[in-house]
Amino acid sequence: MLTNYLKLAVKVLARRKFFTFVSLFGISFTLAVLVLATALVDHAVAPFPPEVHQDRTLGVYFTELSGEHMRRNGGAGFKLLDGYLRDMPGVERMSIVSYPNGVYSYLNGTRIHSYVKRTDSEFWRIMRFEFVEGGPYTTGDLDAHRMVAVINEATRRKFFGGANAVGRSIEVGGQRFQVVGVVRDIPILRLVPFADVWVPYTTDRSDEYRREIVGDMMGLFLARSRADMPAISAEVASRVARVPTDDKGFDRVIAHAETLFDTAARVLTTGGDASVQAPGKRLWFVLATLALLFMLLPAVNLVNLNASRIMERASEIGVRKSFGASSRILVWQFLVENVALTLIGGAIGLAVSIWLLWLVNGSGLILYANLRLNYRIFLAGLGFAVFFGTMSGVYPAWRMSRLNPVQALKGASR
């Protein structure tokens, strides 16, 4: 019986091409945009390698000097991180890392742009990079101010044509480094680990960074367990509150140990106001509301289209009832049509989503992009569409199935 329903559903959908096209376009387009947006969010904040410990990692990503008449904000300064936030209870490892900085190199008359990140050796223990050559630099390299570097595969291709790079030298930003390791490319949206070249922060030409409260650094704190994270956040807040500003124009320092998502929420929803607490809740609410509204609009359109499609088939229903079709059979037929339509739209949406992700990954619009399909979100969106597609057919199908055959043959829908 189900096979017959499906065959009939396909014939009906093929006969009413306009309704079918609009419904399929709405379903597939909505699912494709939802998947692409989710992939971008996952690409930035989901726990993908090398950030495998993201569920127990906090960071001081944003710092503010505040005064009565002015504010200064930016990344954390080395003095704040190294001088006041070391040796905290509950922290397994701490790392001080700079934000990526764009520099230029020249090779055989060709200018090469690279992003350089200055780190300590703990950075390589918190992150889990995949090394294709060599390994990370060590605490000894950091203490001895050795000019060593880890590069990604893209940089190896630019400088060495893909040949082995370990032991060879590269000039980056006017400094020469010896390559000790090569890692896989990290997408630019992965703000914490991303770079083309990683070097010890002690190789900086100037030591001015050591005196900064607000600078271009971030502090990473790997908690021993997730249960320690609230205490670490509280301890950071307590210590930061006691940091002197060393500037008469400012009277306090504001910084939080929080997840990267919370920091992103702080920038997007508060304009970088460091005094706002728990900004991640705001962003989750905004994202959830936007996703709901984005899904609700095509769902309402789908309801209206399905209702219209069923109501205009009064004469067909009258003929079928005249030949003995029961109300239950008619209702099941319309429900099967709606579900089949939604599943076909979902299949098209899946194909379009995979194509869009492949297109973005290969376009170069996002450096080293590796967008992935989030099947859970896709299935949730498809389930949402199936639910509304089914519900949109229940009432009109039931009402039409209750019509008197004579009225239905006359085209009545009431």
- State if pTM tops 0.85: no
41 Cβ neighbours under 8 A, 6+ residues apart: 287
What are the residue ranges spanned by the domains of the chain? 2-46+282-409, 62-257
pLDDT tops 80 at residue 96:
yes
115-138 pLDDT, tens digit per residue, is 999 999 999 999 999 999 999 999
Would you state the structure tokens that stand for residue 65, as one six-digit string? 């000097």
Q: Is the pLDDT of residue 413 over 60?
A: no
Output 245 or 166, whichever has higher pLDDT: 166
In this prediction, residue 30 has a pLDDT band, given cuts at 50, 70 and 90, of: confident
* Nearest CA among 119, 126, 78 for reference residue 97: 119
- What mean pLDDT do residues 377-394 have? 75
Torsion of Cα atoms, 331 then 333 then 334 then 335, to 10°: 80
Interval 209-225 mean pLDDT: 94
Task: Summarize pLDDT for 58-76 with one digit per residue, the tens.
Answer: 999 989 888 878 888 889 9
The DSSP secondary-structure symbol of 245 reads: -
Lowest-confidence region among 11-20, 176-185, 225-234, 378-387: 11-20
Amino acid identity, residue 391? M
Question: Averaged over 141-150, what is the pLDDT?
Answer: 97
Q: What is the mean pLDDT of residues 194-222?
A: 95
Does an H or E element contain 222, and which? strand 217-223
Q: What confidence tens digit (pLDDT) does each residue in 250-293 have?
A: 888 989 899 887 877 776 666 555 555 666 666 667 767 777 77
Q: What are φ and ψ of residue 214, in 5° steps?
A: -110, 125
Q: Within a 10 A sphere around the Cβ of 334, how many other Cβ atoms?
A: 26
Averaged over 77-95, what is the pLDDT?
95
pLDDT at position 405, please? 55
In contact, 123 and 95? CB cutoff 8 Å: yes
For residues 200 and 24, the model is more confident at 200
